[in-house]
Copies of this chain bind each other. A is one copy, B any other.
Amino acid sequence: MSPTPRKLEIITAASTLFKEKGYSAVTMRDIAKAMGIKAASLYNHIKNKEEILTFIIISLAEEFIKGIAVIKESNSTTVEKLKQIIALHVDIASNNTNGMASLNNDWMHLKDQLDHYLYLRVDYEDSFREIIKEGIEKNEIKNLNPDIMLFSVLSTLRSLYIWIPLKEDMEPSVLASNLSEVLLKGINR
């Protein structure tokens, strides 16, 4: 089940290229060239191109699902939960900026696992929305349209992979706390 080291190298090389040009524009020959081998050699380690994309996306999606499940079931306050979600995104995105690009932009090229991915995504968004709604009911956060709050925060978190490489000097923990400040309290004085 768990990939061999060489397979992981292929996935890593592919992730970098997928981020630069998107899945469809990257050829097996591109991936091979980045590793200094020929395209046919890749098939000693992987089944096909789709398997690479599937691994990148599904393993990341499951990380998020596991993360939010723990947060949701904890007995923290809503604000604490939201901060934990922000930290979760900063953590995962920091450790895999390349893969996050595929998760965001190339999921529609999944075949076998497309339905599974869509299920995970809906599940994640539902959990997130639940936490927001609970916070409104308990009067812990503002009573605004939950979908708009979800959309606003999640859009920022999903774009982290673009900005993190531009701010390499910033510690993930610092980024997470600064982001919490902005997302939770706004920028208005």
Contacts and interface: CB of A to CB of B under 8 A. Distances in A.
Q: How large is the interface on A (under 10, 10 to 19, 20 to 34, 35 or more residues)?
A: 35 or more
Contacts of A187: 82, 132, 141-142, 144, 149, 152-153, 183-184, 186
Given A25-B24, A155-B156, A178 B145 contact: yes
Contacts of A181: 144
A153 B181 CA distance: 13
A140 B182 contact: no
A187 B86 CA distance: 14
20 contacts: A22-B24, A25-B109, A105-B105, A140-B189, A141-B187, A142-B185, A144-B181, A145-B178, A149-B182, A151-B163, A152-B182, A153-B187, A156-B156, A182-B186, A183-B186, A184-B186, A184-B188, A185-B186, A186-B186, A186-B187
